[in-house]
Structure 1
Amino acid sequence: MSRAKQPKRKRPWKWAWLGVAVAILAVVGFFVYQGVGTYNGLDKLSDPTNDPKFTNYEVPVTEKPPEWEGTERVNILIMGGDNRGLKENEKARSDSMMVVSIDPQTKKIHLFSVLRDTYVNIEGHGDDRINTAFALGGPDLAMQTIGHLLGLNIQYYVYTDFEGFKSLIDAIGGIQNFEVEKNMNYVDNADKNRYDIHLKKGIQDLDGTKALQYVRFRHDALSDFTRTERQRKLLGAVADKMKSGWSLLKMKQIVDSVDGYVKTNIEVSDMIKLGKLGVDSQIAGQSQVPPMNLIADKRAGGASVLAVSDDNELLQYVQDELQKDTAPETDAAGTNSAPLTNSGTSSGSQDGGNTANGSSK
């Protein structure tokens, strides 16, 4: 009599391993999707464009800054443009200008806000407000003009308009627990009240719309002086938010959100290097250019402009600021940041911060 066949024993571990394998493939697939999508999205930001804001300029031929090799100081001009009410082929001025200067050796970042009414020589166009350089010669002339003012080689630029700024802030999930230092109200009927400003004083969460209101407001006693301080303060908060692992995982969505609003000359390979450098670095100083003690009142075309009282002293001021380090020592999580003082610079100790080759350019 043959023995009855025994039923096969179930092996639940096989299903466990299958589940693990599926999970691993899903994670790998997610990162591949994110990586490829992010790369393609970033690459589009530096693609050639027919946008009249970036084309059809006759920029004077001058010596371009040396290419960034990854070890020397790198300077990036961030410009915010106001495209409201522009006619076809009309050029926008840069409404806000900030230079981000990073030293890869010390991992320190310095921010310089450039007052938009600063009266300078714009090569090939004579003397004018510095924010007209972008309208007259696009990003190349803007980098050249602001670089001459600060005595820095500006290798890169990033340009965005109002909608691009709002989209970026919303894509990173807004800025939480941000202090709005005063009530801010301004009504502008020219654009059908789309960009009116209504903010209440106090600690609050800012979405893209509120963040834009915060950095645009300048209708107080010191006008553009306090506005540039607020811009640096918010940029520091954005930088902290972007360093979080959550934001890095959502990088593809962040890049997709600014498509069509942001333009840059930074190639993807350099974006990756700059991104890693930014995560590893700290903001060590924040300054306004020109500083109050180097501003001279001047009239041009019947309007008041801000002249620089001494160009050489301004160049020295920038170099002195680059040597300061007001960043506090970080804790294990690396999350500490220096608070802003009323002058727009960070508070803290001031240690030397020389570059490797002894030059801050």
Structure 2
Amino acid sequence: MSRESENLSYHEQKRLDYLYSNYHYLNEKEQSEYKYLKNKSEGRFQDDPVSAIAEESEASSSRGENESDELPVYPSRSRKDKAKSNKKNREEVTGLPKRKKGRKIRVKRILKWIALFFLLIIGGMVFMFVKGLNSKPTGPDAKPAVVEKFNGKKSRDGVNILILGTDGRIGEKSDETRTDSIMVVNVNNKEGKIKMVSFMRDTLVHIDGVSQQNIPEYDGYYDQKLNTAFTIGEQNNNQGAELVRQMLKDNFDIDIQYYAMVDFKTFATAIDTLFPNGVEMNAQFSTVDGEKVSEVEVPDDLNMKDGVVPQQTIKVGKQRMDGRTLLNYSRFRKDDEGDFGRTRRQQEVMSAIMHQIKDPTKLFTGSEALGKVFAMTSTNVPFSFLLTNGLGLVGSAGKGIERVTIPENGDWVDAYDMYGGQGLLVDFDAYKKKLYQMGLR
């Protein structure tokens, strides 16, 4: 009698099976219990054990049986309670829900360990950042960087950051410096890639209040070089980055939210901290006076002494470069490509840094480098942005880096600035469209 009945609980069914299999050995009380359970399994008592027990007692009395031999009292259950009981009984038989509960506990424990792991990583990054922040250069000429006024505007896709590479040195006044590189880096865009646009410093622009008027040849409009905006802005209460931002907005309609001004010493220190073994580069130069070269002599600005800049030899080909060598390589412009060659090398250097920073160990050395950069660099990029987006930027570098130079080599008209210096007159409308297609504006 192993067929289960929907009118019996799990334990009642088990008891009935047991009594049935041992029926010939049952005493009178057990026989009464068997009859009760059998009748109940057939639906005779409608889950009313009180009536059933009374009925069985009357039957027993008529047979002269001892009234003290009562049947077990089986509590009445609602359908809801019965369903819960049946579910519980199945769980006890199969054990599946218990394993499910065990899995939940294990999953929660694993998630807690993962959360703790990430907290430790973040804590380590913050510690290394503070360490770098407090290890800024010392000396009579060392001064903390001044955060400049910058009216940053959000772009429609991702975050645009203006990177200004200056030729300044520690202790040198900002209005004495110039910009070797003007670059906008776009991150956190919908494509998940890093986009990089370099603006040639000799691009001619119009600066209100500075440009001369009534020059017949160019209608007195585009007569200032783009990098001049930085110097003029620095001379106006340290607003070099802001004036460059305005020029890029006025001429290319590009919105920029953050800026960072990186000088010689800051760049070299950050690279040496982030890459103790150097950055892998494949050094490439154009021809010099029409001749191919296997090596070049480049100015070694960081080792300048008494106004004299020594030379450093950089060979063509694959090699590891420390911060000083990487700086000198990216600034060289004495080959036949001139400023275009320098701009190309600067983009190569930035791309190499972003690709090679994917090493997980850079989470900590990188945080220390950022601390040093923050101590030495004028920037309005908040550390919270780097902390929350740093890992994402590493992933973006793996998807590729889109690079553009404005103007492209040969895509300009030769012109002159108001001082007689040769500049580049470009088609601003065409490059506005190009920047729009890239998603930078």
> Greater helix share, 1 or 2?
2
Q: What aligned pairs does 1:46-125 form with structure 2 within 5 A after superposition?
A: 64=151, 66-67=153-154, 72-84=157-169, 90-125=175-210
Contact 1:129 1:305 survives alignment (8 Å): no
Aligned pairs for 1:1-361 (under 5 A) are: 31=121, 34-38=124-128, 40=130, 64=151, 66-67=153-154, 72-84=157-169, 90-126=175-211, 127-137=223-233, 138-173=240-275, 174-182=277-285, 183-187=295-299, 191-192=304-305, 193-194=308-309, 196-281=311-396, 282-320=399-437, 322=438, 360-361=440-441
- State the AA in 2 paired with 1:277: G
1:65 offset after TM fit, Å? 5.0
Give the TM-score, by structure 1 length: 0.68
Distance in 2 (CA, whole Å) between partners of 1:273 and 1:33 is 13
Q: Report the Cα distance in structure 2 between the residues aligned to 1:205 and 1:253, rounded to whole angstroms.
A: 21
Partner of 1:337: none
Asked if 2 retains the 8 angstrom alpha-carbon contact of 1:41 and 1:255, the reply is no
Of 173-182 and 101-110, more deviation after overlay is shown by 173-182
Amino acid at match of 1:308: L
Q: Contact 2:205–2:224 (CA<8 Å) still a contact in 1?
A: yes
Stretches of 4+ aligned residues off by more than 4 angstroms: 27-33, 38-44, 50-55, 84-89, 187-190
2-structure distance, mates of 1:258, 1:43: 8
- Higher strand residue share: 1
| Preserved contact between residue 280 and residue 318 of structure 2 (Cα < 8 Å) | yes
Residues 229 and 247 in structure 2, CA contact (< 8 A), matched pair in contact too: yes
- Given that 1:118 and 1:306 are in contact with CA atoms closer than 8 Å, whether structure 2 keeps it comes out as yes
C-alpha contact 1:178 1:206 (8 A) present in aligned 2? yes
Q: What is the CA-CA distance between 1:280 and the residue it aligns to?
A: 2.5
User: Aligned equivalents of 2:436 and 2:174: distance in 1?
Assistant: 39
CA contact (8 A) 2:282 2:319 kept: yes
What amino acid is the match of 1:307? Answer: L
Cα RMSD for the two superposed structures: 3.4
Distance apart, 1:66 and its partner CA = 3.8
Contact map agreement 1:77 1:97 (CA 8 A) in 2: yes
Q: Which runs of 5+ in 2 are unaligned?
A: 1-116, 135-142, 212-222, 234-239, 286-294
Deviation for aligned residue 1:33? 5.2
CA distance in 2 between counterparts of 1:89 and 1:232 reads 24
Size of the alignment, in residue pairs? 287
For residue 146 of structure 1, what is the amino acid of its counterpart? L
Deviations 1:91-115 (A, max 9, x none): 4222211111235221022211111
Deviations, residues 212-242 of structure 1 (Å, cap 9, x unaligned): 1110111111211011101111111100122
Note if contact 1:83-1:161 (Cα within 8 Å) is conserved in structure 2.
Answer: yes
The 2-side partners of 1:52 and 1:261 are apart by: 5
Q: What is the CA–CA distance in structure 2 between the aligned matches of 1:52 and 1:251, rounded to whole Å?
A: 20
Structure 2-normalised TM-score? 0.57
Q: Is the 8 A contact 1:43 1:268 kept in 2?
A: no
Deviation of 1:315 after TM superposition, in Å, equals: 1.2
Q: Distance in 2 between matches of 1:42 and 1:274?
A: 19
Residue 98 of structure 1 aligns to which amino acid in structure 2? M
Tell me the percent identity. 26
Q: Over residues 14-45 of structure 1, what are the superposed CA-to-partner deviations in whole Å (9 max), with x where a residue is unaligned?
A: xxxxxxxxxxxxx899746523335657999x
Instruction: Give, in whole Å, the separation in 2 of the partners of 1:77 and 1:123.
Output: 21
The equivalent of 1:352 in structure 2 is: none
Give the Cα separation in 1 of the matches to 2:131 and 2:231.
26
Alignment CA distance shift 1:100-1:132 (3 Å):
same
Distance 1:89 1:95, change over 3 A: closer
